[in-house]
């Protein structure tokens, strides 16, 4: 058993080293320029160690990006709010969301900077829809606008605001962002600045 335990600790450490190498390299260069050799050299690991954990660099990327979004989703959805109003629940989700983004900002900034290469919108969309689905009926049309259009609009707005906040190094607190986004969602969902 001790052998398995050490092996497991070593495996976890190797995966963490590869994750850090991945994000450092994504910060420095474009995805298509990164090779397995770059990753293993940066992680100070052998190629054989890399291939014990991942099939290729895409597998490394997908697993790590999905893990970041899964952790974000779990943080948001595990927010404990006792039988409260929809506004209180929404605020709790938004606050958890912005706090988590701030705590993990290094990774999310790198992902955003490479977003066009990584296609992260679907992962983000999944989080927003599931969290908001806890509060409102996501299948219901609003003022004759089909639910799918409403959700795509809402997801794009949330993504844009969160991206701006991260890329500008948090000009407002997570608490302020949660309040502001909730207010815009509540009061401005039928109004657009055109």
Q: Identify whether 183 is part of a domain.
A: yes
Same domain, 66 and 131: yes
Same domain, 101 and 65: yes
Cα separation, 123 vs 68, in Å, equals: 10
Domain end residue (candidates: 9, 36, 54): 54
143-152 long-range contacts, CB within 8 A, separation 24+? 143/190, 151/125
Same domain, 7 and 87: no
Tell me which of 173 and 10 has the higher pLDDT.
173
Same domain, 143 and 98: yes
* Predicted pLDDT at 192: 43
How many domains are contained in the chain?
2
Same domain, 152 and 67: yes
Domain end residue (candidates: 54, 71, 98): 54
Same domain, 113 and 167: yes
* Predicted pLDDT at 103: 97
Same domain, 173 and 81: yes
Measured in whole angstroms, how far is the alpha carbon of residue 82 from the centre of its chain?
Answer: 25
CA-nearest of 89, 112, 93 to 174 is: 93
Here the CATH number for the domain that contains residue 113 is 1.10.357
DSSP state, residue 190: T
Q: What confidence tens digit (pLDDT) does each residue in 121-162 have? A: 777 777 777 766 655 555 666 678 887 787 788 888 888 999
Q: What confidence tens digit (pLDDT) does each residue in 12-64 have? A: 999 999 999 999 999 999 889 999 999 999 999 999 999 999 999 999 998 99
- By residue range, what is the domain housing residue 161? 61-189
Same domain, 20 and 40: yes
Q: What confidence tens digit (pLDDT) does each residue in 92-106 have? A: 989 999 999 999 999
Q: Identify whether 117 is part of a domain.
A: yes
Q: Identify whether 194 is part of a domain.
A: no
Q: Which two tokens stand for residue 192?
A: 């657009």
* Predicted pLDDT at 5: 44
Here the CATH number for the domain that contains residue 7 is 1.10.10
Q: What is the pTM of this model?
A: 0.81
Same domain, 80 and 159: yes
């Amino acid at each position: 058993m001790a052998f398995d335990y050490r092996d497991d600790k070593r495996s976890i450490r190797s995966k963490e080293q590869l994750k850090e190498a991945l994000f450092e390299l994504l910060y420095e260069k474009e995805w298509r320029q990164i090779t397995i050799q770059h990753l293993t050299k940066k992680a100070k690991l052998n190629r054989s160690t890399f291939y014990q954990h991942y099939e290729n660099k895409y597998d490394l990327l997908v697993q790590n990006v999905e893990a970041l979004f899964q952790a974000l989703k779990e943080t948001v959805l595990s927010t404990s709010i006792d039988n409260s109003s929809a506004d209180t629940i929404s605020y709790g989700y938004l606050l958890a969301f912005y706090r988590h983004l701030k705590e993990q900002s290094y990774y999310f900034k790198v992902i955003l900077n490479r977003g066009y290469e990584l296609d992260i919108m679907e992962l983000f969309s999944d989080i927003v829809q599931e969290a908001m689905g806890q509060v409102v009926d996501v299948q219901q049309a609003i003022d004759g606008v089909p639910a799918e259009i409403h959700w795509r609009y809402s997801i794009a707005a949330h993504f844009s605001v969160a991206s701006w906040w991260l890329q500008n190094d948090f000009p407002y607190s997570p608490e302020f962002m949660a309040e502001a986004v909730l207010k815009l969602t509540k009061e401005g969902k039928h109004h657009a600045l055109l």
